[in-house]
Amino acid sequence: MAVGLLSSFGVFFSGITCKNISCTDLYFTRSEFFHQKMKFLAFAALFVSSTVLAAPVPLEKRDDIDVDILQFALTLEHLENAFFKQALSNFTLDDFTAANFSSDFYTQLKYITHDEETHVLFLENALKTAGVSPVAACSYSFPVTSPKEFVQLAAILDGVGISAYLGAAPMVTSKQYLTVAGSILATEALHQAASRNAVGEIPMANPFSTPMGANAVYSLASQFIVSCPSSNPGLPFKAYPALHFVQGMPVAQNISVSFSVSGQLPSAQSYITFVSGLDVIPAAATVSDNLVSAEVPYQLSGQSYAFLTSDNSGNLTDSNILFGPAILEVTPPSPTFDTSIL
């Protein structure tokens, strides 16, 4: 993948400001995340098994944190809705087939665009039902000049959206909201799989999707936002200073990679903390010629993220994230499995 496309990114859901519950961050150690994941799956299974969703879920007014998460989800869905509609307005079927995409994939893109619009309408109606004025769409600028760049960026944005919904899940207090988020997350995963496959990337490159914090997600999304209506309510999220990956994509495990930053590099020892699936791996960074470098851990696979941090705790918080995140596409190793495990 071209460096320019990814270097425009600086990620999405870290250090969320919570109002009615105690929290500092949406990143977890592997054991903590598995605990949260099992609670979520058991909770969702119980809810779905006892409820027939014959119509859109009527959402009641809930805690502020739930409203903030729904508003943030709508912010992301507005962005994706605009992104897909802009691309399908600018590029025709002939443009896609000339770029070696099939007519069947072009049809899939139209279904994806339909889905994104539906997500926007659903979340808007849900917030109105809860007595809240939904955020309106902003003005956007996307660095896309060809069908190939569009599909590459589509796969990335869908991956970030998946990370956002997954990262938000432990914060949601409403069972109904949690079910809605899980339903949208599953559809976004299908979207990303289609786009990744179309550009020659392994759709299921990692056994686990990657949860991300709200500030990290907002850091990525804000780079495409030119301006928003002044009537939009403020959301309790902030963007981190940008971290730019300066090499071509994809990269391999166990090689050195370099990043540039928008600002002054720290003089003290710093670390590149990589996030991929359920793994959070810090690596000592080296600084040379205004670039910061570290080795890609063997655990990274597929769409992964990197932060420049002040410590190697592996616990990402507002206090130790200096820059980031940057996005890396890491080529997965050949798959292995044991036929004796049944």
Is residue 138, in this structure, part of any structural domain at all?
yes
Instruction: Looking at the structure, tell me whether residues 165 and 297 fall in a common domain.
Output: no
| Token digits of residue 50 | 């006892």
Output the pLDDT for position 294: 98
pLDDT in tens, 149-198: 999 999 999 999 999 999 999 999 999 889 999 999 999 999 999 999 99
Please give the average per-residue pLDDT across 290-316, as a whole number.
97
Question: Is residue 35 in some structural domain?
Answer: no
pLDDT band at 53 (very low <50, low <70, confident <90, very high): very low
Q: Tell me, yes or no, whether 117 lies in a domain.
A: yes
CB 123 within 8 A of CB 63: no
For residue 225, give both structure tokens. 């936002």
Answer with the residue of higher pLDDT: 65 or 17.
65
**Mean pLDDT (whole number) for 274-294:** 96
Q: What is the mean pLDDT of the chain?
A: 86
- In tens, the pLDDT along 115-134 reads 999 999 999 999 999 899 99
Give the CATH number for residue 313. Answer: 2.60.40
Same domain, 116 and 71: yes
pLDDT tier, 63 (very low <50, low <70, confident <90, very high otherwise): low
- State mean pLDDT over 37-60: 37
- Identify the weakest region by mean pLDDT among 17-31, 228-242, 285-299, 322-336: 17-31
Query: For the domain that residue 215 is a member of, what is the CATH number?
Result: 1.20.1260.10
Q: Are residues 206 and 61 in the same domain?
A: yes
What pLDDT is attached to residue 262? 82
Q: Is residue 175 part of a domain?
A: yes
Q: Are residues 251 and 223 in the same domain?
A: no
Instruction: Determine contact, residues 283/297, Cβ cutoff 8 Å.
Output: yes
Residues 311/285, Cβ–Cβ less than 8 Å: no
pLDDT of 337 over the 60 cut: yes
Question: What's the mean pLDDT in 240-257?
Answer: 95
**Residues facing 309 on adjacent strands:** 271, 321
Span 300-312, mean pLDDT? 98
Domain endpoint, select from 185, 203, 227: 227
Same domain as 166, residue 17: yes
pLDDT at site 25: 40
Angle at 183 between CA 177 and CA 184, to 5 degrees: 90
21-41 burial, b for 16+ CB within 10 Å, e for fewer? eeeebbbbeeeebeeebeebe
Q: Evaluate whether residue 3 is within a structural domain.
A: no
For every residue of 129-190, DSSP letters joined together read: HTT-PPPPP-EE-----SHHHHHHHHHHHHHHHHHHHHHHGGG---HHHHHHHHHHHHHHHH
Q: For residues 195 and 249, state if they share a domain.
A: no
Asked if 72 and 161 sit in the same domain, the reply is: yes
Across the range 227-245, mean pLDDT stands at 94
Whether 15 is in a domain gets the answer: yes
| End-of-domain residue from the set 227, 260, 288 | 227
Q: pLDDT value at position 65? A: 84
pLDDT tens per residue, range 80-111: 999 999 999 999 999 999 999 999 999 999 99
Same domain, 217 and 320: no
Tell whether 18 and 159 lie within a shared domain: yes
Residue 32 has what pLDDT? Answer: 45
Task: State the burial class of residue 205 (Cβ atoms within 10 Å of its Cβ: 0-12, 13-18, 19+).
Answer: buried
**What is the per-residue pLDDT for 106?**
99
Domain tally, the chain: 2
How large is the average pLDDT for residues 215-219?
97
Q: What is the mean pLDDT of the segment spanning 61-85?
A: 90
**Residues 193, 69 share a domain:** yes
Range 276-279, long-range pairs (CB < 8 A, 24+ positions): 276/206, 276/210, 276/300, 276/301, 276/302, 276/304, 276/305, 276/330, 277/206, 277/207, 277/208, 277/209, 277/210, 277/301, 277/302, 278/30, 278/33, 278/34, 278/208, 278/210, 278/211, 279/30
52 pLDDT band, cuts 50/70/90, is very low
Q: Which domain holds residue 219?
A: 11-30+57-227
Residue 6 lies in a domain: no
165 and 288 co-located in one domain: no
Q: Quick one: 69 and 168 in the same domain?
A: yes
| The pLDDT value given to residue 51 | 30
- Decide if 336 is inside a domain: no
The rounded percent of the chain whose pLDDT value lies above 90 is 75
Structure confidence by residue, pLDDT tens digits, 10-38: 433 333 333 333 333 434 444 444 444 44
Of 162, 193, 227, which marks where a domain is finished?
Answer: 227
